Amino acid sequence: MPLRVKQALVLLSGVVAAVVMTWLGLWQLQVFTDQGNASAQARAQQAPVPLLDFVSADGAVGDIYGKPTSVAGHYLPDQQERVLGADGVVRVLSALQLADGRVLPVVRGTIPQGADAPPPPNGEHVQTGIFLPSEPGADHSLARGYNLGSVRLPQLAQLWDEPLMPGFITLDSTESGQQGLAPASVTLPDGEGSWRNSGYALQWWVFALFALGMTWKIAHSMGKRGARTSGMGAGRDA
């Protein structure tokens, strides 16, 4: 078999091995991602817990983001915003003032773009929803009449005077419907997958690089040996 063909077969075997190992790494990474998504969904389906048990007066937050919570307060009717998302969905964001004076932003539901938001209910209410961290800033343009493109708390703090809680809640479909609003979707924080699977993914990718490097080195050594053999043969012929 010609030397070039042997070298090509060695390199091909390395490429095939690297492709298989890369796929195995991607599979392990997908397992890690799926576990994280399942973990986030499991947190979101837990029974509601009192929000103030996890958020202290100084703003320290316990393990509560992405979990259903309940909190009592009364809405401030003059502090309400329509949040226009990049997808055109308009969320109604209202200020629920707690007994200690802090304000919890509440996504009460959604309305059609251009529609007026219904006022929040009067009196003391216990509201239940998933507690979420501040969203990233919006990079899309806003139509006239909209101040927010996302629930970004630093931006909201410039519109509302009262001190804000370090997060917001989104009401479930039942509570949104009771307030005359369509339910708002929830983007859950990333859950935790098994770091063992992410480690396996990295391990497979290292193996893939090793396979490529080793087969290239073997093919290169074969070429050098072949050149020396050819040189020795030419010398004997001379």
Predicted local distance difference test score (pLDDT) of residue 227 = 62
Instruction: Please write the tens of the pLDDT for every residue from 65-113.
Output: 888 999 999 999 889 998 888 888 899 999 999 999 999 999 999 999 8
Question: Hey, where are the domains in the chain?
Answer: 3-39+193-237, 67-178
What is the residue-averaged pLDDT of the chain?
A: 81
For 34, the enclosing helix (H) or strand (E) is helix 3-44
Instruction: Please write the tens of the pLDDT for every residue from 138-158.
Output: 667 666 777 888 899 999 999
Predicted local distance difference test score (pLDDT) of residue 168 = 94
> How far apart (Å, rounded) are the C-alpha atoms in residues 179 and 162?
24
Predicted local distance difference test score (pLDDT) of residue 229 = 61
> Can you state the angle between helices 3-44 and 195-237, rounded to 10 degrees?
180
Instruction: Please write the tens of the pLDDT for every residue from 23-40.
Output: 877 777 776 666 656 666
> How far apart (Å, rounded) are the C-alpha atoms in residues 12 and 182?
57
pLDDT greater than 80 at residue 178: yes
Contact at 8 Å (CB) between 83 and 93? yes
Angstrom distances, CA of residue 130 to CA of 43, 68, 107, 174: 9, 4, 10, 13
Predicted local distance difference test score (pLDDT) of residue 131 = 92
For 154, the enclosing helix (H) or strand (E) is helix 153-156
The pTM of the full predicted model, rounded to 2 decimals, is: 0.65
Mean pLDDT of 160-182: 91
> How far apart (Å, rounded) are the C-alpha atoms in residues 1 and 233?
18
